[in-house]
Structure 1
């Protein structure tokens, strides 16, 4: 019989917690000293910003017809048109 005091208000018995494995530890946060080491892509110096833009259907169809990366192609076309 489980000790009702150890179960707590949420009804979860800490003895039922899964065993900690190396694969779990590999996904845990890593620290160097007291500094958290972030995983994934590094932060960009100039990240892109999210905007909402209305385009004519034929313009959108043209860029989307090229498959994945159509937003990058739109961005490149706008940079070229702006002389950047």
Structure 2
């Protein structure tokens, strides 16, 4: 004798899909704020200049900022 089935194949697949795609409770997002004294801007740079700073990997934005500070004479001596 066969054991009783729980719904047809479509219902079983639907239940499995719902279980697999069930969203967890959303985690509260921390507000995204730039570091103090920084401002987000849009800046167009020559591709080779950008590549020069990006070649050393992460931190390229800080390196550009340091180069601009030095060029503007804003670094303490």
Between Structure 1 and Structure 2, the one with more strand by share is 1
Greater C-alpha radius of gyration: 2
Q: TM-score, normalised by structure 2?
A: 0.50
